[in-house]
Structure 1
Amino acid sequence: MVMEKTRDVLVIGGNRYFGKRLIARLLAAGDRVTVLNRGSSAPPAGVTHLIADRDDEDALRAALGPRTFDVVVDQVCYTPRQAAIARRVFAGRTGRYVLTSTVEVYEYEDSPAPVSEAAVDPHDVPVDLELPWDEPEFLDSHYGEGKRQAEAVFAADPEFPYTAVRVAHVLGGADDFTGRLDHYTHRVRTGEPIAVPRTNHPATYIHVDEIADFLFWTAGQDFTGPVNAASHGPLTTQDLCAALAAHIPSGNAVFRTAAEGETSPFSFARSYGMDNSRAEKLGYVFGDARRWLPRAVAETLGKDN
């Protein structure tokens, strides 16, 4: 019988939501897991903990010492500056670098059909390291741009073995810290109007457990470049609210039209769907969003009980 090789895996960030689920899957598979963060929260038992500010290149190198890794999963790379530091530090130190990216890289795409990875080619994305990436307000308002440029930094080095997982909107779990589904829960319970654009387009989603599964699977593959991660079947704001209302006695969703920029978290004035066929051709099978949505809603509502 051929024994599977035990991998050395570094997770940067990852102490909450689907990051901690990924770590649990790596540990269950027998991988040696190291978690690197700024020390603000302790990682789960069974991992090696390194403390460093990833924005400080010298501190990052010092924390890593001579360590090398089979795989690095970077959960918290938000800017091209962070990507540039990571590319320099981890060049020759890992056989695979998995960047957790986002559907927001497609924020300027407006296609009625789900968009493929080719819609945003990181090789064509200009990088500006001089933008005020250190300013929280700027970074928050340029989240998609920061991820686009981070991808571009990794893609610029053909020898750097990276892949960028473009994650759909994540739902599920009692530990969802974003508050986005809570926004709808409150309004469905109280009947307070839910702001949507005049034409409310659907988006693609993924369950918190499914994205953890996908990242775990991706860590063991050898493909490179961007890959979309989304469940089958787009959902609208109305779909989300209907699922909530089914779990809330006397729940009622009331919608009102609002100007763009004043709408609720999962309401979109343009199409926001991703084509997941690349991942499926590579061998991953996604679930159906409408099948897991009731479970995601029940998990979210469970934290209020």
Structure 2
Amino acid sequence: MRNILVLGGTRFFGKRLVERLLQDADTQVTILTRGITKDGFGGRVNRLNVDRTDAKALAEAVGDTVWDVVYDNICYSPDEAAAASRIFAETAKRYVLTSSLSVYDPGPEILREADFDPLSYPLRLGAKEDFNYQEGKRLAETVLLTQAAFPAAAVRFPIVLGTDDYTKRLHFHIEHVLKGKAIGIPNPGALISFIRSDEAADFLYGLGFSQLAGPVNACSDGTLAIGEVLNIIGQKTGREAVVLSETAAQDMSPFGIEESWYMDTAKARGAGFRFLKLAEWFPELVRELATELAASLRDRE
């Protein structure tokens, strides 16, 4: 029986990961959250309700249980990573940290794992509120990959999309186009990576069985320019996007990067992982969301 702990796991790709793990008959899944968000798993999972930023409470909750894999979807600071390194030092056989494309600075060239090296990055400790998102993730990687006694991997995901995306970043663009509202795009030619939520969950699942360690990029095959994103939305809605280089803050695109920001996945592919083709799933997701949002807008009228 494999014993799996998921920190997070009640929404988006974390929830999909738990569902994937539960398909295996020989797997016991425990989710650790604050207990605020209902998960819908019923009696299929064990639950630990605790604030993971409280190191003492976290240690008491997990005790000396041995975990085949610990998935950490909610680590945003070096303090949280340091606590995990101590608490799971003798009980985690493998640790998978959800990290981010955000550890990289945008730029014209494709981004490889070596472009941010957590093993040589200057270590500073601090809580989530002491750092911006990028720095928090950089330092979390640095702590786990240099100080932890257990084997660890840090998965660098780009923006994750899906019908279940609670941040509704793609929804934002589609709704603006449907309403004829201008969207602020600083650089329509900037290239970006994406990954679909079920694809992200499948990658995390597979990584639990892999020996792959250290930082690893994971994204769908291919890129889209931000302008192409709007063109696809225009095709699926039958309406042309209104794009400006600058708008009011609330109308600036969540994808509105000034430079390209996309990743190479050779390391993951070299370990046997395969990814979906962005050009195949992205238009279909836009179509699905556009149909849903158009109906919602009609209902509001």
- Shared fold, TM over 0.5: yes
Correspondence for 2:83: 85
Distance 1:63 1:211 in 2: 27
Amino acid across the alignment from 1:115? L
The alpha-carbon deviation at position 41 of structure 1 amounts to 2.1
- Flag the 1:198–1:220 CA change in 2: closer, same or farther, 3 A: closer
Specify the SS of the correspondent of 1:220: coil
Of residues 234, 238, 242, the one that matches 2:231 is 242
Correspondence for 1:257: 245
Correspondence for 1:3: none
Of residues 22, 43, 51, the one that matches 1:27 is 22
Say if 2:218 and 2:265, in contact at 8 Å, map to a contact too.
yes
1:258-291 C-alpha deviation (Å, 9 max, x unpaired): 29x8841112211101001100000001111010
- Flag the 1:302–1:211 CA change in 2: closer, same or farther, 3 A: farther
1:173-199 C-alpha deviation (Å, 9 max, x unpaired): 2x2111211221122112222211156
Q: Are 2:253 and 1:273 aligned?
A: no
Say if 1:166 and 1:229, in contact at 8 Å, map to a contact too.
yes
Amino acid across the alignment from 1:143? Y
1:143-171 C-alpha deviation (Å, 9 max, x unpaired): 11100100000111263311000001111
Distance 1:299 1:60 in 2: 40
Say if 1:200 and 1:268, in contact at 8 Å, map to a contact too.
no
Q: Are 2:179 and 1:195 aligned?
A: no
Q: Are 2:144 and 1:154 aligned?
A: yes
Distance 2:34 2:197 in 1: 24
Of residues 59, 63, 72, the one that matches 1:65 is 63
Distance 2:35 2:252 in 1: 36
Q: Identity percentage over the alignment? A: 39
Amino acid across the alignment from 2:137? K
Structure 2 unaligned spans of 5+: 296-301
Amino acid across the alignment from 1:20? K
Correspondence for 1:40: 36
1:5-54 C-alpha deviation (Å, 9 max, x unpaired): x3110000121001110000000022110000111123312000011111
Correspondence for 2:298: none
Distance 2:160 2:128 in 1: 26
Amino acid across the alignment from 1:125? Y
The alpha-carbon deviation at position 89 of structure 1 amounts to 0.4
Say if 2:86 and 2:148, in contact at 8 Å, map to a contact too.
no
RMSD: 2.0
Distance 1:229 1:15 in 2: 21
Amino acid across the alignment from 1:122? P
Query: 1:111-122 to 2 correspondence within 5 Å?
Result: 112-122=108-118
Distance 1:164 1:23 in 2: 18
Query: 1:218-229 to 2 correspondence within 5 Å?
Result: 218-229=207-218
Distance 2:155 2:14 in 1: 13
1:229-269 C-alpha deviation (Å, 9 max, x unpaired): 01111112222222222332x4221211229x884111221
1:45-84 C-alpha deviation (Å, 9 max, x unpaired): 2000011111112211111122110000000001111101
* 54-63 vs 21-30, which moves further: 54-63
Say if 2:92 and 2:150, in contact at 8 Å, map to a contact too.
no
Amino acid across the alignment from 1:253? A
Query: 1:275-290 to 2 correspondence within 5 Å?
Result: 275-290=264-279
Say if 2:69 and 2:95, in contact at 8 Å, map to a contact too.
yes
Specify the SS of the correspondent of 1:247: helix
TM-score, length-normalised on structure 1? 0.89
Distance 1:122 1:203 in 2: 23
Say if 1:200 and 1:267, in contact at 8 Å, map to a contact too.
no
Distance 1:120 1:292 in 2: 29
How many residues end up aligned between the 2 structures? 290
* 191-200 vs 114-123, which moves further: 191-200
Correspondence for 1:97: 95
Structure 1 unaligned spans of 5+: 1-5
TM-score, length-normalised on structure 2? 0.90
